[in-house]
Structure 1
Amino acid sequence: MDIKKYIASGILELYVAGALSEKENQEVFEAIQKYPEVKKEVEAIENAIMQLTAAAKTDAPYSFQDIKSQLKTKTPKVIPINKPRNNWTQYMGWVASLVLATSLIFTINQKNTLEDKIVKERIQLEGMINDSYDNLAKAEKLIEVFRDKDIISVPLAGQQVSPTSYAKVYWDKKTNSIYLDAKGLPEPPKGKVYQVWSLKLDPLTPTSLGTLDTFTADTNKIFTISNANESEAFGITLEPAGGSKSPTLEQLYTLGAVSS
């Protein structure tokens, strides 16, 4: 049970006022026995009512327990003729005010909670819609790139450290960029990151094109990377987080040469 939510629901005030059904009274009674916080809250409500009634009339002949028993009895006891009737009306006014105030507070809290939930769901929905538009725009852009006859396609095959790995580079020389499809790479171990290299073959000269820092979070595993180099090959290595100045050849995952 969420004790804070249960206390804030207003049911304890209704219990004290005797406005619950027999079943609800039993449920609250069991909660009082089981949870000290609930018992403490009920006692606080009862004390508050006692103080209110005492402030209204210090010589009132009825105690709070008398009022409570009257409210909870299925067949109300007859009030003795020698007891001033206006006292009973006064007490009932206090109880009715308490019930009304509790109901209003509960309704306001529920309304605020509902409004907060609606706002959060709206923001979440707007975010999902924006993401969908972004993904659609990216997909359309990639389709254009892959269909462009001037795009150079370079398959990267798995190497000794990971023979089953593979990737593919789509090189657009007009925009000095490559589109890397890295779906064939396994998830990197913790503390490691994939690094992409542009290679000149004679002599072998590697140039870093950056690290795939968002590899794990990226669902499509397609990355756009700037490349103004006269690349003759591309390779991908597994490096420590932050990348390396030169490739760790023992951790070369994929490699592919540009067709002449």
Structure 2
Amino acid sequence: MNTKEYIESGSLELYVYGILNESETEEITELAKTSPAVMNEIISIEKAIINLTSSFSPNISAENFEKIKAKLQLKHVKVVKMKSKSNISQYLGWVASIALLLGIGYQYNELNNSNVKINSIETEKSNLQKSIVELELKNKDNATALNVIRDSKNTVVALAGQAVAPTSFAKIYWNKETSTVYVDATGLPNPPEGKVYQIWSLKLSPTLTPTSIGLLDNFKANDPKLFTVSGTRDADAFGITLEPAGGSVSPTMDQLYTLGKV
């Protein structure tokens, strides 16, 4: 056979697999030494086998696998002769090896897919648990707000907007027996960065005397905008001012947002 016939006959594939008899192996070995086309075809077949096995070799380190591949890709200066055995047995051995590699690759991919699914389920579970906790906290806040509003012992004081914020409003729920004070701040805008709302209990006579009873901290995070502040037993009015973070000793009157008499 000429070079083209050798390439098209499939004999070179059998040569690479090592399942030709001794005379056929020697014939192709000698031809590969003198024919670049035959040599290139042999190298091409071996590369195809390398590429196939490299995609299904999870248990071989990258460094060792590259060493094996490099050895197979060396220029052919000598072909190792295989002892003549049954062609059918050798062929079946190669088929079994390839089937094993494919099976290992399939199982490896399935394992990876399973791990991805498990991680996804764990993430969804974590997010669900977080949502449940947030919902429970929100329900608790809502229940507290309803209890405050429905408590007949609470005195409700409406705070109207002042010059700096005429559209603002708030409500004070004051239990005089327990001195408990709740602030409904739904009518106040979010405070600017570095600022905080401060609540003042006011005595109007004999002179105006303001007393700080708390800050509306974490304003943006408080969805119901219902705050519990320090209690008071004696107040003629309540006011809310905008102060620097941390609060002030006395109210900044030009930043008085709401005011209301008891």
TM tier, smaller: 0.5 to 0.7
User: How far 1:231 moved relative to its partner?
Assistant: 2.1
Q: Residue 162 in 1 paired to residue 197 in 2?
A: no
Aligned equivalents of 2:231 and 2:240: distance in 1? 14
TM-superposition CA deviations, 1:3-59 (whole Å, max 9, x none): xxxxxxxxxxx99329x9xxxxxxxxxxxxxxxxxxxxxx989846626979xxx95
In structure 2, what residue type is equivalent to 1:204? Answer: L
Residue 175 of structure 1 corresponds to 178
Report the secondary structure of 1:206's partner residue.
strand
Residue 135 of structure 1 corresponds to 138
**Contact in 2 for aligned 1:177/1:226 (Cα 8 Å):** yes
Query: For residues 82-97 of structure 1, what are the structure 2 equivalents within 5 Å?
Result: 95-97=98-100
Which of residues 191, 196, 199 in structure 1 aligns to 2:199?
Answer: 196
Moved more, 91-100 or 213-222: 91-100
TM-superposition CA deviations, 1:134-177 (whole Å, max 9, x none): 33333233323222222100000101101111011111233332
Moved more, 101-110 or 173-182: 101-110
Aligned equivalents of 1:229 and 1:161: distance in 2? 29
Query: For residues 26-41 of structure 1, what are the structure 2 equivalents within 5 Å?
Result: none
Q: Residue 223 in 1 paired to residue 227 in 2?
A: yes
Which of residues 207, 212, 231 in structure 1 aligns to 2:211?
Answer: 207
In structure 2, what residue type is equivalent to 1:16? Answer: N
Structure 2: where are the runs of 5+ without partners?
Answer: 1-48, 56-61
Which of residues 101, 104, 107 in structure 1 aligns to 2:107?
Answer: 104
User: How far 1:211 moved relative to its partner?
Assistant: 1.8
TM-superposition CA deviations, 1:190-243 (whole Å, max 9, x none): 221111122222222222222222111222211122313422211111111222
Residue 250 of structure 2 corresponds to 246
**Contact in 1 for aligned 2:181/2:232 (Cα 8 Å):** no
Specify the structure having the higher radius of gyration (Cα).
2
TM-score, structure 1 normalization: 0.63
Structure 1: where are the runs of 5+ without partners?
Answer: 1-13, 21-42, 62-80
Q: Residue 16 in 1 paired to residue 51 in 2?
A: yes
In structure 1, what residue type is equivalent to 2:238? Answer: F
Q: Percent identity, aligned pairs only? A: 41
Aligned equivalents of 1:87 and 1:169: distance in 2? 92
Aligned equivalents of 1:120 and 1:128: distance in 2? 12
Q: Residue 148 in 1 paired to residue 151 in 2?
A: yes
Aligned equivalents of 1:105 and 1:135: distance in 2? 45
